[in-house]
Amino acid sequence: MSLVTDAMRAAASETYEGDEICREKSKQLLTEMGLPNGLLPLKDIVEVGYVKETGFVWLIQKKKCEHRFEKIGKSVQYATEVTAYVEPNRITKLTGVKAKELLLWIMLKEIYVDVPPTGKITFKTPTGLFRTYPVDAFQLDKNDNKPAVASIQIKPALEVKEV
């Protein structure tokens, strides 16, 4: 059962269909709200909608997906429908997102970036448990859809000279 109704779609300030534009718009919205743009790395997005007056946003993808944030070594699972209310530096009433902790998948309910900026982002569960990580672990490189990583220079181990 979908949480997104036709009435919500009608009230939306913005709706988009198609994977490429939906990825772009979701990253743009996260950035505008002061959140890292790699927070919702969904695949095959069908629809994105945003109701500006209430901050309600939804993302619908073809099938659920799992993503591993390498910098923190954590896996996150995204349902076919992800909904939330967004406001500056905060996501509340989040649905459709679970993080793996040990052997359990734990539902996430709230995400916020510390203000003033400390470079930390906090994830809360419905029970009040939380984890804090560096914001840059969820920031995408500007050139593609991969998390930003430090550049690596490869130098030859030996230089061969002909005699």
Distance from C-alpha of 83 to C-alpha of 59, rounded to nearest angstrom: 6
1 falls in which pLDDT band (50, 70, 90)? low
For residue range 95-147, list pLDDT tens digits in order.
999 999 989 999 999 999 998 778 999 999 999 999 999 999 998 876 544 44
pTM for the model stands at: 0.81
Domain boundaries, the chain: 6-138
Q: Structure tokens of 21?
A: 């534009």
Distance CA 88, CA 55 (A): 10
Q: Round to whole Å and give the CA distance between 3 and 20.
A: 23
**CATH 1.10.4030 fits domain 6-138:** no
Angstrom distance (rounded) from CA 43 to CA 63: 8
Work out the mean pLDDT of the chain and round it to a whole number: 86
- Mean pLDDT for the stretch of residues 89-100: 96
Half-sphere exposure of 91 (CA within 13 A, CB side): 28
